[in-house]
Structure 1
């Protein structure tokens, strides 16, 4: 790594930090050290650093009121007795007093939050673990230190370990020569973002191994060791964020890999530029070679794809130029389809023929094996007979006779076998017929039993046949024909009994039919009488209707006469009133006329009373007649009901 690169950490700014030199170009306005190293006369292309000017932020109300309060206490100004005080601002906005706030923005709240160290630093077991981790890491990294030195540590040893760990994390960290550890300790931890630096006191470094300071200082070393381990693991992990060109593969697409190569190119070119070299062709060629190597396989595949594409394109052009017409292609396709169907039919025929031949071959093989076995048996029998003949010393005539007898016996045996087969067939047919007959008989017996149950003769017939059992059962397993039917004798017992039952039922049926005829005649007579009674009831209903109509007419006439009488009485009363008025007014013949009118009025009242009485008598008479008619009808209906119930 170039020694001129700055540290990634930001130490605290000090005015004298430029005295040591950072090897970076700085503006010419800064004074160079007199005895410093030779500097490069070329300036940075970034230009001088910009310094923001301090601008005073105005207050929210910079204008001050022109009226001064006589009261020097600002909290009591609103209670002053002046003419402009003690008034509501909305009543007179022109007299609003000025703000007491001096202006300026409120400072933002502090972002630093106190974080407490959660580690159990004061526990001895945890301290032993931290010492062991620090000891192992330092010895593994080449810094030799004993466990005893870590147990009772001096300030010099602590500084050496601390600076070693910090330099491991950042090899360019600017430790000042001759500076005290108390001055470098806290800035270095803050630069490394140690989260608990606010809990540390630089005065503890005067006595590192003291009981109150050593746990925290050991915790700092342990945290740095863990950070170093994480850094080492990260640096060897090959992650793209390391920006190491050595870890970039030949074929890469990650943007971080591109940035790593770009950073390498920028670093080397900037280093050359700082050395006074303006020719960057070497680094340009290196970067071009790197990307050319990356694109080499892709370019090769691209060339292969292009050649394959051109080849296919040429073949497509040839095929397109040699394509026949669509009609010819369709005709050829139809011909080929027909040929395909024909070939399928022929193939099916040949497959069927093959199956038949295979079956025939299998049958022939079976027959051949059977014939072979028979031949072997015949040969064995022939050899046996030959041996027997040799043993018996028979003459040829005797042998011929024996063969003739044997053939005759074989023919007789074949005839007997044929007869046995015919007998078996006949027996089989007879068994089938017997089974059918047995089924028919069972169905007939079931029908017979069902009819007995319907007639009430099963399971026990009524008197006088209670002692006779009419049930029959089929015993098809019996060898005796007389025992096939179990039960009473059909001819001697069952048939005469059934005949007597039938005769009895016929007589009962005739009796029932005669009674039915009588009942039908009586029913016809009752029906006729009911019709006559219905006719009489209809006539009576008509009479009742007529009587009701007459009663209604009489009632209407009585009402009309009463109404006429009322009208006449009203007229007479009016005339009487007029007569009275006239008599009073005229004073002539009043009494005589009044008496005549009174007599007429009495006659009219008597006439109305008489008509009312006649109407009431007529209504009562009609009601009495209707009641009598109702009683007569009820009496006739009761007699008809009694007669019907008696029959």
Structure 2
């Protein structure tokens, strides 16, 4: 049976300190607590008015404040969003109403309610009603932006209080339930509450550990990415490197084009010379043909003799030799022209391959205007053969491309600066997450220390229970041994008692028989005495009746006194024998 008395509570179930005031208390704008909080809270815009005005008009501050407000609106699933540099008047008014509703402040008219709210919260930014009537104007926008940013900070603080209060409520409920079970003396209920709460703590610890691992993994990834960005080349360097490679390719293409242009010019000169020589040969052949025709006509008109025939035969042989030599020379020139045509064809094919490479490079460069090299085999000048004039068409496009590259490099430089700023912001966020991780690790260590302490207590308790169980087992064994001894002794005593009982029964039977004979004798004597007493009583009754008659006759006047006197003086009669 368990003891129902009160015992000292464990350290793990001691009641926690009293909870902080509820969030509704912080949201009562008529109370002095919020006013003092808002008054004591340092403003994010500075202390003096001049620095606050400079901060409100600062471009970087405005962009940062707009990002903060938009992220707050997005986290609360609001369709509103402020678009820099100057949002519309409707968006500004709706955003102010939404922020006021998040602070649980009743509003009917924005121009009248907002100054009252800012006065209660001791807002450091002065806001005129004219700015609320025309919120979309440039001169009113900085003040309104500062007020909205300040209200967002207040709302974020209230949300933080609500989240912390939920966690504290769970601890308070656990302490309350444990103390109630302790007051009632219900150890089982209190242990069940302890187990349930410790299970919740372990699950939360596991969840926090998983979150910490995920955050550590994310931090490692971000650090690796940051290290890659630091060690690797910047975007500007990559673009400049690509630009240098492209410029070198363009220079190579220009050199190749110039070389082939020179070769084409030399080949064209040789071709012109060959064409001129061919024209001379054709004219000479025509002249020879005409001379032959003239000679034929003259031969037909002339009369021939033997010497003329011999002379003509010799001349004919000489002409045939000249014709043979001319044919041989013509064949040689034809072979040279064929070789030249073959060389020109090879060079043209090489030009086609180079033009294809140049066209691909131009497409990669994206110069625009559809600049392409289109070869013309019938062209007479390099520009006609290539299909494009380099100086008038390609060079301006390359110059414009170089200008575009310089502009893109400037934009990449600006992007690099923005990326560096983002890297600094990410580093700050990572540092904040590291601090958060350190805090979570410390809280996890505290919980683990408590768990270790509880485990030690449990081990000590189990060891004590084990020793007590061993002692109980030993006591039971001793008692069992003693019981065995007692049982053996009882068996011996029982046997002796049975023997004694039999002897006593025999003796009692003999004594009973003796007593019975004595009883019979006593009954006989009593019956005899009874008969004697009955006769004596009857005799006494007769004497009494005679005496009574005599007395009644002699003492009738004083009968009662005499009878009483006689009764007092006369011995009482013993009727016990009846």
- TM-score w.r.t. the length of structure 2 is 0.27
When Rg is computed on C-alpha atoms for both structures, the one with the higher figure is 1
More helix by share: 2
- TM-score w.r.t. the length of structure 1 is 0.24
Greater RCO structure (CA 8 Å; 6+ sep): 2
